[in-house]
Structure 1
Amino acid sequence: MNEATNIKIYKPESSTSREDSVSKNKQNDVGLWGDLSKGEILYWVEKGPSESQHSHGSFTKSRKLFANQDIYCSKGLFYPKRANGEKYCREWLVYSPATGRVYCFVCKLFSNSSTPLSSDGFCDWRNTYLVQSHENSVDRRTASVTYLTRRRGSTIDCQLAEQINNKRQYWKNGLERVVAIIITMAERGLPFRGDKETFGSPHSGNFLGLLELIAKFIPFLATHIKNFGNKGSGVTSYLSKTICDEFIQIMAHKVRDSTLDNLRTSGYFSLSVDSTPDRSHIDQLTVIVRYVSPDDGLPIEHFLTFLEMGSHTGESMAKMVHNYLTNECKIDFSKCRGQSYDNAVNMSGKYKGIQEIILKINKYAMYIPCTGHSLNFVGRAAADCCLDAVNVFGIVQEIYNFFSSSTHRWAVLLSFFKDDSIVPKSLSKTRWEAHSMATSAILDSYDGIISALHQLHIDTTEKGETRNQAINILNKMEEFEFMVMLYLWSYLLDEFHKTSQSLQDPQISLDVCRKSYASLSDFVKGSRDMFDHFEEKAKENLPDVDYKKSSYRRRHINNDEDDALENLGPRDKFRIKTFIPVMDALESSLAQRASIYNDAAKNFSFLTKLEATEEEIREGVSALCQTYPEDVDMNLVGEVKHFHQYVRHSQAHGSAEHDSLTHQDLYRVIFTDRVQTAFPNVEAILRLFLCMMVANCSGERSFSQLKRIKNEFRTTMTQDKLCSLSLMCIESDKLRSLSFDDVISDVALAKARKKVF
């Protein structure tokens, strides 16, 4: 029997489908048991009746109609009274939620009696005295003695039981080390297999290599590898690639189920998806969910899986994601209250994009464009508004390309740099913050770059093409307009970069996003009057250089605007035709994007106004009722007034100002003070607001791990293994926090019971 067969009953189980992973007779519902084997009897002797008692209810399945009256099983059946009036617990009596009947636990294990409590179950709730009769019966007492004896180990096969326990501990010790290695490798995205999967081979993978390394310091593992390593199929060692893959799948499912359990507890959630091709040229669709953690009350984003895409249409992706969340994850999709994607047409399209399809499925899943991508579009719109703005970044990229394409040129460049100088950086089409680093690098090392270009130009040993490129770039860098624009973009992009970094925080809320855009808009407006400042900074670098005069011949076209500009000097032309259009483009684009987040957040703004009047609260609640009629009603008005009073009193002696409290601060008050029952509706609305996804940065981060896990050397990896390893790597914090002792114990016990007679 191979290893996969040895542990087939312990394959990863979802939180909703135990039939797929646990044997029928190991379910905690006695009514579903069939004939028990010796191993299964031993299993339940160790577990005891508490695992399957269900005496807490509910007993809805036990309904019986007697004389036109419904009678149910009751808790009193499990807690009868003695003759002296004292209550005691019938530990041996268990209830089956599936059949609605009660059973005798010990008789199910050790009695051949045909009484209902020992076989098909008891449900005659009018004659519960029969349960008392069974309690005093010889069959029940005999079965109880047998059960208690087996629990103590004083059995005929006690030596066998002791051997099984020793063997179980042996296998458990080995599996604990296997699991520890899998966790260490998975969270780092390391490959497991090598060219030759045998112990002692220098071409074996990291998994076997780490086992051999640990075995040098742990005699137990060294002996185990010596006895079981390289034995081939048919000999169970729990060291092979088969058991490794089995445990990867088991552990990944446990990580995912932990996330899903917390999501169901939280209730509201939002969704983000994004796609990218992997090394096998397969489009992978990442699925990210956001909800308020029931553990600490903070919004949190979690990766769930990669889905292999067959089509790029919005409808196809929406159906794929919806089917995964509802059918595989068993999530109530009606609780989805937000979605956020990048600005691709198939994602954010108003008619056929995934956001529109999702809205048709759930009209309350509000779409919010990704804040990071929106900020990129703002910058790109400004950079493309005029030729001078485009030329600045073209020159910046040209500088990087010129030096980075030759190790000799790079060495010449570094020879003119100080120790703390920043080398030129490349621009990026997708990451606008790269523009900030690139422009800052040119300003920081401007003198060194100029000197290096001059040296390459005058060096007669250099190729003519190199000398020509050097002087061309040098002439462009010494233009006054370039220097003014370089200072302008460096100043603006530095703030854009800081804002972009803050918007990438997984815990950022819609309200903070709105404020970030508003503050950035104010910053841009304040920069309109700084043209003289940028000009002065440029003169510090180029004191002997001035604006270029127009040298091109004008076309004879009747244009009053061009005629007016023609009469202006070079400085005014540059300010009017370049500086002002850039600032106008930034302002208009920011205002357009900011309005989206303002509109999404305005319905919740009254919650943070602790001094709001009743009329303001009523208007805010009314607007929320129209947007979320299934989540809000007008009874929220009085609760919000009470909550504002509570927060004012709770903050009276604190350092926080009332006006500076955010939605997250308000939810922290409820969560920390444990006043959810006092303000249930306020808590729910704040939780709904905080769960809204405002960026798909977590999806972009998952692509970084995808490139590590499925690299050019691991292109044959199956989709299931890719998803499992990605989940364990991306959610490494959760992987570390979970305990896998139950899985290890069950697998070890399964192996220990396989005795040969």
Structure 2
Amino acid sequence: MSDANKRKSLSGFQYRKMSKAKKEKEENIVRKTTKLDTYFKIKGIATRDLKYLLEQCDTPTLQVDEKTEEILSYKINDDMNVDDIKDQIYVKTVPISMDFDKKESSQKCKIKNIETNNVDTLETVKCNVKDTNVQYYCWFSNDPAKWVLNESEFEYYSKNQVTTNLVDIQFNKTFRRIGKYNRKLPREAFFRKLLNGEFKHRNWLLYSQSQNSLFCFYYLLFAQRKTKFSRPGSGYIDWKNCLLDVNNHEKFIKHTESVRKWHSRQLDNQYCIQNFLKIEISKEEEYWTKLLHQLIETISFLLTKGLAFRGDNETVGSKFNGNYLSCLELLSKFDPIHANHIDKYSNKGRGNVSYLSNRICDEFIDLMSKTVLQCIVKEIKIAKYFSIIVDSTPDVTKVDQLTVAVRYICKDGLPVERFIGFLPSVGHKAKKMKLELMKIFKNLDIDMINCRGQLFDNANNMSGIYNGLQARIKQKSNTAEFVPCLAHFLNLVGTFAAELTSMGNKFFLRAQNLYTFLFASTSRNTLSKELDQIPNAQLLKNLCPTRWSSRYSVCKSIKNGYVGILAALEIIYNDSNQQNAVKHEAKSIYNKIKSLNFVFILVVWTPLLEKFDKTSKSLQLINIDLSCVVSLYDSLICYIQEQRNNFEIFLSEAIKISGINKFSWEETRTKRKNIFFDEELSGEVIFSNSDKMKNEAYTKLCDKFGFFSDMENIEASELRNKALKLMEYYVNDLEVEFVEEIVQFKKYIIHFPNETKNMQGMLKYLNNNPSLNTTFPNVEIALKLFICMPCSNASGERSFFVLKRVKNYLRSSLSNEKTSALSILCIENEIVKNISLTSLVERNKQLEEVISQIPKLTNYFSSSRQLANISNNETTNENVDILTSKKKNETMYENEV
């Protein structure tokens, strides 16, 4: 390129100079251009001087300075005066609160809480005065003598007919001096008597209380020449000839024509283009609302099932677009409206409103999760007392997730446990965990002072009495009792008891080896599945160390399928096609389980672990309380003690199953351990710690509230002492009257049904009987305090199961907020089902944007085309006549007014 054709670069100063000149030129053009709002008139009631309204207050509460006076000044129309305005508005006492937000040049002012007197119709008008946003109330009077009939009033009264209520007329006070006599307004003037004796009410005849005169409603609006029934400010006052004149006026052709004009305008309003626009707007709103309902139901379905939403792409019609779009495609096959929406709006790209994008889906997920949390918080505030359940586990990305659940009492008196959310990367320090817990409860507006229980695992950072999390929670609420997880302790006791002896260890080791051997090969697996043909037989179960009921499942499956297992092993080690190592292993396992030793341990452990399993499942129930826990523990201990004397029964059953009469004891010397002077026997330490835990954690709590479960058998003096101790401990919750209430409640509990004599039954019975609830309020509080204490961490463990489904290896990139939101909606699916879809749609911000786009030119032209189609082709003969008369009436109205 030659130097002559090169673009010459200007200096920075020259560019700034050109930019400044361009900006000044644009500002000059804008300054000279006429404002758009000057071409329009403000509709509504006549404009008022706002300062005048304030001066009419009997007790004004606002001081207007010079600046405020300048802001509140509002120009009155040239064709009006203040007296005309004053007659149209009544202000009795106006306590006005003004809110000013001064931000540079913008100021806002609002008038609130205006009380009025003797006014029938209210219209709210928002006016923009300079930089001030003023909102006040405008009134249309029902007194015809005060009508100004400007443009706004004429428009209002031509759409809304005004009638006179005869009850409001005091006819004894309507006297007028006419000639020599005082005459009053006859009531008969408001009725027309027909020839057959019937009476018709003249709804067009209006009475003015201010002028004590009569007016014709239609004549006031449409009469070209003012007559005695339409004279402004005075009206008709000749009571002597009232009946005759009213009757003649009603038959006057001008009156009939005015009636026709008024009804003609009603018909015009019905078929005007504004009404068609409103119809179109309502149809669009209904369309989008129905669509959003379908989307919310689809999202709710996927959430409650814990399924993924998105796929590899977001293309409608693709095989890899995910569950969300696939469900919408399925719905479109049975809903033509939904199918039309997908065909019209799908795959349009960004910038097009379709409500099919992942952004809208995420907004609804966030909105629904917040709504569920609001419902939970509302229930907690009603219940007041609650307990917290905290546990932690790593997710698929190795991030430690701290789960938080809350236990409280519902309105029906039953305890519930609700999931609050996950707190990621909190760490294992008690101080940091406490800060995060305080933060989440503060954000939810839940007062931790009302916390009455806390349940964690037995780690030192959680259960430590000095620096653990439970000690730090007690600093906030000193009555937040710590309760260890009962199900975890029962699992520890059962696991330790199973592994306490060498025979027990060998038994479960051989059971696990048996499962591994049979399921390691497909051929052996097929052979083991033939066990289903044996009555009551089950597939072999894997021994999972973290699953509480796995040991019972292993024992039960081996016991029921013992004969088939031996047959399968015998087939394997006699099969010549098998490798020698496989045959040798099968023979070894066969010899180990084909012994009285193995079968005897199997027979002993199966019923014991069955009781452990049933007790563990009962402890995991939400509606269990500590009194039931103590009963379950006592019954389990009694059952185990009874089994000590059933050796002969177990032995005979083992001999029957195995077919062997003698034990094959191994010829090995028993290993002994030297015990020093400061040591105890192994095995006793564990049981003593377990007893210590039981005594310190549960027995003390049950001693505080235990008198509720045995109230009928306790003397009144002892009952008073126990109630007094409980009241002294919960000094901020129970009143002094609690002691006498509990004594009186003891006499009343005799009449309770037997199924309601436990603590939960008592609380439910009190809630269902309001009279008892008010008689024993402190008893109800004490029952709530006890029942709201958690017993196990099963709710936290269930949340971990949901976490593994929500955040799996395919969804490992989920954010912490979305993970918590999806988990809340999946766990608390009962609350999700009760959420109002309409409230969700109204709260969605995107819906407001869609509705705001509806009244634009596109819909305007579509409505215009609809009106044209009605007038040209698609109307019946009746509609054509209506539209024709509409045009005639319009022409007549223009000529008359």
Quick check: 1:196 aligned with 2:206? no
**1:343 CA drift (Å):** 2.4
Tell me the residue number matched to 2:324. Answer: 207
Question: Could you tell me whether the CA contact under 8 Å between 1:286 and 1:702 is conserved in 2?
Answer: yes
CA–CA separation in structure 2 for the residues paired with 1:306 and 1:683: 33
CA–CA separation in structure 2 for the residues paired with 1:484 and 1:185: 49
1:623 is aligned, of 725, 736, 739, to 725
Q: What's the secondary structure of 1:297's corresponding residue?
A: coil
**1:629 CA drift (Å):** 2.0
Tell me the residue number matched to 1:72. Answer: none
Tell me the residue number matched to 1:19. Answer: none
CA–CA separation in structure 1 for the residues paired with 2:325 and 2:347: 11
Q: Supply the AA of the counterpart residue of 1:470.
A: A
Which stretch of structure 1 is more off in the superposition, 622-631 or 366-375? Answer: 622-631
**1:450 CA drift (Å):** 1.5
CA–CA separation in structure 1 for the residues paired with 2:545 and 2:689: 18
Which stretch of structure 1 is more off in the superposition, 104-113 or 168-177? Answer: 104-113
**1:204 CA drift (Å):** 1.0
CA–CA separation in structure 2 for the residues paired with 1:91 and 1:706: 63
State the structure with bigger RCO (CA 8 A, min sep 6), 1 or 2: 1
Quick check: 1:337 aligned with 2:452? yes
Tell me the residue number matched to 1:752. Answer: 851
Query: Structure 1's 509 and 715: CA in aligned 2 closer, same or farther, altered over 3 A?
Result: same
Q: Supply the AA of the counterpart residue of 2:453.
A: G
Matches within 5 A, 1:305-384: 305-326=421-442, 328-384=443-499
1:737 is aligned, of 830, 834, 839, to 834
Query: Structure 1's 206 and 614: CA in aligned 2 closer, same or farther, altered over 3 A?
Result: same
Tell me the residue number matched to 1:271. Answer: 388
CA–CA separation in structure 2 for the residues paired with 1:401 and 1:720: 41
Q: What's the secondary structure of 1:288's corresponding residue?
A: strand
1:664 is aligned, of 751, 760, 769, to 760
Tell me the residue number matched to 2:249. Answer: none
Q: What's the secondary structure of 1:103's corresponding residue?
A: coil
Quick check: 1:513 aligned with 2:629? yes
Question: Could you tell me whether the CA contact under 8 Å between 1:273 and 1:288 is conserved in 2?
Answer: yes
1:599 is aligned, of 683, 687, 700, to 700
1:427 is aligned, of 529, 540, 543, to 543
Q: What's the secondary structure of 2:569's corresponding residue?
A: helix
- Matched length: 629
CA–CA separation in structure 1 for the residues paired with 2:852 and 2:647: 82
Larger Rg: 2
Tell me the residue number matched to 2:788. Answer: 691
CA–CA separation in structure 1 for the residues paired with 2:319 and 2:477: 55
Question: Could you tell me whether the CA contact under 8 Å between 1:339 and 1:355 is conserved in 2?
Answer: yes
**1:416 CA drift (Å):** 5.4
Matches within 5 A, 1:396-545: 396-415=511-530, 418-420=533-535, 421-545=537-661
Which stretch of structure 1 is more off in the superposition, 546-555 or 455-464? Answer: 546-555
User: Normalized against structure 1, the TM-score is what?
Assistant: 0.76
Question: Could you tell me whether the CA contact under 8 Å between 1:103 and 1:118 is conserved in 2?
Answer: no
Residues 459-508 of structure 1 show CA distances to partners (whole Å, capped at 9, x for unaligned) of: 23212221222122222213322222211111100101111111111111
Matches within 5 A, 1:60-75: none
Query: Structure 1's 609 and 217: CA in aligned 2 closer, same or farther, altered over 3 A?
Result: same
CA–CA separation in structure 2 for the residues paired with 1:143 and 1:515: 80
1:253 is aligned, of 359, 370, 376, to 370
Tell me the residue number matched to 1:239. Answer: 356
Tell me the residue number matched to 2:716. Answer: 614
Q: Supply the AA of the counterpart residue of 1:439.
A: C
Residues 102-130 of structure 1 show CA distances to partners (whole Å, capped at 9, x for unaligned) of: 5239676446899x997699xxxxxxxxx
Q: Supply the AA of the counterpart residue of 2:462.
A: M
Query: Structure 1's 181 and 416: CA in aligned 2 closer, same or farther, altered over 3 A?
Result: closer
CA–CA separation in structure 1 for the residues paired with 2:641 and 2:370: 51
Query: Structure 1's 142 and 396: CA in aligned 2 closer, same or farther, altered over 3 A?
Result: farther
Which stretch of structure 1 is more off in the superposition, 202-211 or 623-632? Answer: 623-632
Quick check: 1:708 aligned with 2:805? yes
Query: Structure 1's 464 and 91: CA in aligned 2 closer, same or farther, altered over 3 A?
Result: farther
Q: What's the secondary structure of 1:713's corresponding residue?
A: helix
**1:458 CA drift (Å):** 2.4
Q: What's the secondary structure of 1:470's corresponding residue?
A: helix
Which stretch of structure 1 is more off in the superposition, 393-402 or 308-317? Answer: 308-317
Tell me the residue number matched to 1:175. Answer: 292
Query: Structure 1's 148 and 300: CA in aligned 2 closer, same or farther, altered over 3 A?
Result: farther
Query: Structure 1's 381 and 751: CA in aligned 2 closer, same or farther, altered over 3 A?
Result: same
Q: Supply the AA of the counterpart residue of 1:468.
A: H
Question: Could you tell me whether the CA contact under 8 Å between 1:251 and 1:740 is conserved in 2?
Answer: no
**1:534 CA drift (Å):** 1.5
Question: Could you tell me whether the CA contact under 8 Å between 1:381 and 1:589 is conserved in 2?
Answer: no
1:395 is aligned, of 507, 510, 513, to 510
Tell me the residue number matched to 2:218. Answer: none
Q: Supply the AA of the counterpart residue of 2:113.
A: Y
Q: Supply the AA of the counterpart residue of 2:114.
A: C
Residues 169-210 of structure 1 show CA distances to partners (whole Å, capped at 9, x for unaligned) of: 121111111111111111111111111101111221111111
Query: Structure 1's 118 and 487: CA in aligned 2 closer, same or farther, altered over 3 A?
Result: same
Q: What's the secondary structure of 1:677's corresponding residue?
A: helix
Query: Structure 1's 622 and 230: CA in aligned 2 closer, same or farther, altered over 3 A?
Result: same
Q: Supply the AA of the counterpart residue of 1:267.
A: K
Q: What's the secondary structure of 2:479's corresponding residue?
A: coil
CA–CA separation in structure 1 for the residues paired with 2:385 and 2:427: 29
Tell me the residue number matched to 1:103. Answer: 113
Residues 343-372 of structure 1 show CA distances to partners (whole Å, capped at 9, x for unaligned) of: 233332344432232223322111111111
Q: Supply the AA of the counterpart residue of 2:343.
A: K
Which stretch of structure 1 is more off in the superposition, 714-723 or 298-307? Answer: 714-723
**1:275 CA drift (Å):** 1.3
Query: Structure 1's 459 and 157: CA in aligned 2 closer, same or farther, altered over 3 A?
Result: same
Quick check: 1:185 aligned with 2:302? yes
**1:93 CA drift (Å):** 8.7
**1:261 CA drift (Å):** 0.5
Question: Could you tell me whether the CA contact under 8 Å between 2:127 and 2:135 is conserved in 1?
Answer: no
Residues 1-45 of structure 1 show CA distances to partners (whole Å, capped at 9, x for unaligned) of: xxxxxxxxxxxxxxxxxxxxxxxxxxxxxxxxxxxxxxxxxxxxx
CA–CA separation in structure 1 for the residues paired with 2:551 and 2:664: 25
CA–CA separation in structure 1 for the residues paired with 2:717 and 2:151: 74
CA–CA separation in structure 1 for the residues paired with 2:613 and 2:477: 35
Question: Could you tell me whether the CA contact under 8 Å between 1:271 and 1:289 is conserved in 2?
Answer: yes
> What is the aligned-residue identity percentage?
31
Question: Could you tell me whether the CA contact under 8 Å between 1:521 and 1:591 is conserved in 2?
Answer: no
- Structure 1: which 5+ residue stretches go unaligned? 1-61, 65-89, 122-135, 560-576
